[in-house]
């Protein structure tokens, strides 16, 4: 009986060890494109659940941003795109901070200028992901370039997934991910671009620079502030007007009275006045 119990314990230990080893190998610090999650056709489309403690749904606590997308694409045009993750665990300097996986249905993807060592294709020009160095960026920002395909491709689909991680090497909470997808239509590109994002949009504004005081923090509404400035300007204008009036208005009357007084003095001196 004791031997069978020991056998059961051994089987349990081996099973748990295998599960832990499998979960540890799922975390991909050198890129997450391709089939990295069981049952997913592509991580860019379905997200990477391995970094969220088996969390199936993406988390809106992480805002995933793609900036620079055109409204319509033209043949052979290259579009610089900026990928950014905001939210999730605090960034730890020198450790893995996050990553992304991107897939397009047509056209080609490549690293943006200065990001050649931070992002790379994963065996296909239509997929791109972070490298080992790219997982350690201090701002969770990556830049890629999408070059549009030839005329006649019509709609081009984009899929993007991003992980925000704490860098401790354990693929579990508070690590979280989010994803987005959209379609670009073929047409006349007017040069305008847009920002596309997934998340709750709860992005904290940057801290005020040292030495500057936010007007709203002083309790003065923005409208009242400008009304006060306009009132002050009106008072200054009135003071200036009164000064000019006193200087040039009364001085002419005074000059006329002085001339009349001089004329009377002359008449008195000549004895012309009885």
Instruction: Answer yes or no: do 119 and 229 share one domain.
Output: no
Kindly state whether residue 105 falls inside one of the protein's structural domains: yes
Instruction: Answer yes or no: do 46 and 127 share one domain.
Output: yes
Tell me the per-residue pLDDT of 64-99, one tens digit each, with 9 for 90 and over.
999 999 999 999 999 999 999 999 888 887 888 899
Kindly state whether residue 220 falls inside one of the protein's structural domains: no
For the chain, where are the E strands, in sequence order?
62-70, 72-73, 78-87, 98-104, 108-111, 119-120, 127-130, 141-147, 156-164, 176-186, 193-198
* pLDDT, position 114: 96
Identify whether the C-beta of residue 199 lies closer than 8 Å to the C-beta of residue 85: no
Identify whether the C-beta of residue 165 lies closer than 8 Å to the C-beta of residue 61: no
The residue written with tokens 């671009």 in the block is: 193
Give the predicted TM-score (pTM) of the model: 0.60
The residue written with tokens 């391995």 in the block is: 50
* Domain encompassing residue 259: 225-266
Instruction: Answer yes or no: do 63 and 172 share one domain.
Output: yes
Q: How many CB atoms lie within 10 A of CB 205?
A: 5
Instruction: Answer yes or no: do 230 and 129 share one domain.
Output: no
Contacts of 108 (CB under 8 A, 6+ apart): 125, 126, 146, 147
Instruction: Answer yes or no: do 63 and 178 share one domain.
Output: yes
Please state the domain count of the chain: 2
Instruction: Answer yes or no: do 230 and 194 share one domain.
Output: no
CATH of the domain at 143: 2.60.40.4060
Tell me the per-residue pLDDT of 207-235, one tens digit each, with 9 for 90 and over.
545 555 555 555 556 667 677 788 888 88
């Amino acid at each position: 009986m004791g031997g069978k119990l020991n056998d059961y314990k051994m089987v349990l230990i081996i099973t748990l060890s295998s599960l832990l080893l499998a979960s540890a190998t799922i975390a991909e610090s050198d890129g997450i494109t391709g089939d990295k999650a069981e049952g997913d056709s592509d991580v860019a489309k379905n997200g990477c659940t391995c970094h969220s403690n088996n969390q199936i749904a993406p988390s809106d606590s992480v805002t995933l941003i793609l900036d620079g997308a055109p409204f319509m694409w033209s043949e052979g045009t290259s579009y610089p795109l900026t990928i950014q993750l905001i939210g999730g665990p605090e960034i730890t300097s020198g450790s893995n901070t996050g990553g992304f996986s991107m897939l397009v249905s047509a056209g080609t993807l490549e690293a943006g200028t200065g990001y050649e060592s931070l992002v790379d294709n994963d065996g296909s020009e239509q997929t791109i992901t972070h490298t080992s160095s790219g997982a350690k960026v201090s701002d969770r920002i990556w830049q890629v370039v999408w070059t549009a395909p030839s005329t006649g491709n019509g709609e081009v689909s984009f899929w993007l997934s991003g992980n925000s991680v704490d860098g401790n090497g354990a693929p579990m909470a508070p690590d979280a991910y989010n994803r987005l997808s959209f379609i670009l239509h073929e047409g006349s590109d007017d040069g305008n671009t847009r920002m596309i994002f997934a998340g709750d949009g709860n992005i904290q504004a940057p801290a005020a620079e040292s030495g500057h005081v936010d007007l709203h923090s002083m309790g003065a509404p923005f409208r009242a502030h400008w009304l006060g400035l306009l009132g002050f300007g009106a008072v200054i204008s009135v003071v200036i007007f009164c000064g000019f009036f006193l200087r040039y208005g009364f001085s002419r009357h005074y000059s006329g009275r002085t001339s009349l007084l001089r004329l009377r003095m002359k008449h008195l001196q000549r004895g012309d006045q009885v």
